[in-house]
Amino acid sequence: MPDARDYIFVAGVTVAVALAVLGGALFVLWRNKCQIEFIIGWGAALIVAAELCYWLLCYKAWPPAMGHAVALAGWVCAGALGVWLIVRALGEVFSVRGHQPVQTARRQLLSNGIAAVAGVVVGRTIAAYDPADVIIEQHECVLPQLPHSADGMRIALIGDLHAGPFLEPKHLAYYIECVRRQSPDLCVIVGDFITASASDFRDYCRPMRELTAPLGVYAVLGNHDYFNGAAPILGRMLSDCGVVLLEDQAIRLDGIELFGISDHRRQAAVLAAKGAERSPLMDQLGHSACPIVLVHRPFVFDALAAINPRSLVLAGHTHGGQLALELGSNQHLTLTQLFSPYVRGWYHRGSAHLYVTRGLGTIGVPLRIGSPPEITTIVLRSHAA
């Protein structure tokens, strides 16, 4: 499956970069005969390997509370030891040779102190992450073509749950309670309910059934929801929870038209925008007076805006970068920007609008920095206040 291969490729590159950095640090320490640091470095590498094995193979065999605690402890140790190791290696690279033993001892003490502090900070940051620290975003979107009956409609948007060891059913129950407090007219979910297996979602069905709204709960699936043939099973689970999947479908709701584009058919929008392929759904989108489009990946926004410049597109997938450096004035720096011009928040193409949610769950490291979990309420307006 192409999506799975893409995911494995990106994961492989990430692991390769991490191993290269760690390997470089180990080589420097080995060359400088820092035996203790060398042993600790291999210990950190083994912890990371154990974490990957746990994530890929074993986490369903352990009770959620125990598995979560053990895995989190492993990431804390690996992060702390890894940063300590790298700082120590940098100290060796930039140290000046030939000084007196007392000065050398002082430098080593200072280097160890800085490395230890850096390791503790990183470890504590990982340990302190709590999925319940969710941000409630409130936005208004002006759509001049919005019919009077839909003026003031409240849409609750969530996405990227990634059900698994680091987002437990109790967290989903809390998120849904937060959504309900916003009194939405309509709830939408933009995919990635799971990480790799449909069976991961069974324990989440009970809290998901509590998500309701007067106009209904609608969703599209994300790339992870297709892994290992999960989509049909997950679709049945969601239907039992009262969630309507809009997979390449549209529905009229109180004056608006809600479209859902499945992740594996997203390129149909690109082809339709270029005139290379026609489909009934894209033709319907092109003629819609007030379309709201659900799509997992935001990359197709340009195509959707070209098909219908009146579109409001809601997407996820990026996790807002998950690990981001805040630069102020709503600016941020994240590796996700290398792959997507659309990372978080609002984007505009003419009169078309895109909102990318940061989502709720995590992938890889159970940590968010500068990109907290998000629940969003968007209020539709026919004119600016």
Domain spans of the chain?
2-128, 135-381
User: What are 24-60's pLDDT values in tens digits?
Assistant: 655 665 565 555 555 555 555 555 655 555 555 454 4
Q: Name beta bridge partners: 258.
A: 251, 292
Instruction: Name the residue with higher pLDDT: 335 or 67.
Output: 335
pTM (2 decimals)? 0.75
Instruction: Give the pLDDT of residue 309.
Output: 96
Closest CA to 364 of 66, 75, 22: 75
Across 166-188, average pLDDT: 94
- pLDDT band of 267, cuts 50, 70, 90: confident
**Contacts for 205 with CB less than 8 Å, ≥ 6 apart:** 237, 240, 241
Instruction: Give the pLDDT of residue 66.
Output: 52
- pLDDT band of 323, cuts 50, 70, 90: confident
Comparing 35-44, 163-172, 207-216, 267-276, the range with the smallest average pLDDT is 35-44
Across 147-155, average pLDDT: 95
Q: How far is CA 65 from CA 60, 124, 167, in A?
A: 11, 19, 11
Q: Across all residues in the chain, what is the average pLDDT?
A: 79
Domain 135-381 has CATH 1.10.3470: no
